[in-house]
Amino acid sequence: MNIKATIKNIISNPTSFLLHNSGVKQTIAKNTFWLAVAEGITRFLKFFLIIYIARILGATEYGKFTFALAFVSLFVVFSDFGISTITTREISREREKEKEFPVILSLKFILSILTLFLIYISSFFITFDIETRKIIWVLGIYIIISSFSGIIYSFFRARQKMEYEAWAKIIQAFIVTGIGFFVLFNFPSIKNLSFAYLFAVLTTLFFLLFFFHFKVYSLKIEFNKIIWKRILTMSWPLALAGIFGVIYSQIDSVMMGYWGQITQNGWYNAAYKITGITLIPVVLIYTSFYPVFSKAFKESRKNLQKIWDYYVQLMIFLAVPLVIGGTVLASKIIDFIYDPSYIPSILAFQILIVTSGFLILSNPFNQFLIISDNQKKFFWITLIGAIINIILNFFLIPKYSLYGAAFTTLITSLLIFFLLFEIISRIALIKILNYKLFLTFISSLISCVPMFFIITLPKVYNFNVLISIFVGTLVYSTTFFLIRKLINFNL
């Protein structure tokens, strides 16, 4: 993508560029822009809130909150069952399938009700503490309502109108942050905080449905068992893959909470939340690429290869410096965000930041399996990952606590990456490795050398960590693009 041309288009005609789709690259850039704004604001606000939750409530109470949230997150896949992803894929391919959306909406509603009931029943088996159980119920409603908003977002994504999704997420973030801080400073407790989250998502859903009904597509409910069956036939591999994906991302917190390692769970999730922030660009790119990637698979093998190359290059550009820089600056990052009681989080963060690198590199492979209708293969990969994750957690958490959980997450991510690589190599619809990607990887590695030496200099390292990160990013990016210019090869 020509960065200069993109900037010129924004300046010369901002309304057209940011609100209308006029080409593949412009559409990707527009959607990425809106998602970047939304994710940047929402992640910043929520992360800022999380910092104060961890500081004000302490590691133990924060551990209880993250335990309850991790537990209900295990069930969220049942409320969606992969239908949101399938909805985006099918409607982006054939606009006429929008007429099936009321049927999909009814299916989503039924799944949500059943999932709420499942959370309620399961809460009696995971904890005997009544207070924690009540928090699980409140957060269960919160997570299911958030998931319900996802089916509306899938429609926006199919039309490649991510600006609507962006505004909804921004509004919700401001509401939850405002109420969250009010609760923390006036009625600090994890129970009250849970109700703040619930109120925010309820308010957002009300306005989202109102806007969708009157401005986008008339809301109604229709029941059609034939369409339900067809959608579920396509979505069940994604649903099961999602279940196992959630297991290997959340089961460590649930297991630590179940075994009474509440404080350790707080330390672990303090590190985990920071690595989540580092994945923001990946979320943006994944969502922006999905509709055009899916369309290219059906229409043009040549465009598919171009999109694949560009996608993987972006992932390499982000992953390599993140791992190196994050590992070097880990202690400063933890110290800057939390207080000295969270020092045990440093090593866990260093392990998890390496995990983030492999998650970033895995993204194009994940998406390619979905757009190529290989959901079943994706399911088997996540199943294997979930089984390995549970087994390793069972042995490592009792002995090594949060470090065992972090190491298990790393091993699982490595395994999934190599399985994805192997399977897509066999499909052979595109060249997954080529000269362009090799040059990008080498350029990224070379660019990390001056970045490493600069950020480890005492004068730079002892700066505020935000300055150190900024300097490192500047050095890396400048070196990277200079190298690419010298070899006359654009990203």
195 within domain boundaries: yes
- What the block records as the tokens of 174 is 């401001």
Count how many domains the chain has.
1
Q: What is the pLDDT of residue 1?
A: 43
Q: What is the pLDDT of residue 28?
A: 63
403 within domain boundaries: no
Q: What is the pLDDT of residue 258?
A: 78
Q: What is the pLDDT of residue 141?
A: 92
Q: What is the pLDDT of residue 322?
A: 94
Burial profile 40-50: b = 16 or more Cβ within 10 angstroms, e = fewer: ebbbebbbebb
314 within domain boundaries: no
Q: What is the pLDDT of residue 490?
A: 55
pTM of whole model > 0.75?
no
**Which residues of the chain fall short of a pLDDT of 50?**
1-4, 6-7, 10-11, 17, 22
Residue linked to tokens 């994944």: 286
Instruction: Note the maximum CA span of the chain.
Output: 67
Contact (Cβ atoms closer than 8 angstroms) between residue 64 and residue 253: no
- Domain ranges, residue 63: 43-223
348 within domain boundaries: no
Q: What is the pLDDT of residue 426?
A: 82
177 within domain boundaries: yes
274 within domain boundaries: no
- What the block records as the tokens of 197 is 């989250």
190 within domain boundaries: yes
- What the block records as the tokens of 309 is 């190359």
253 within domain boundaries: no
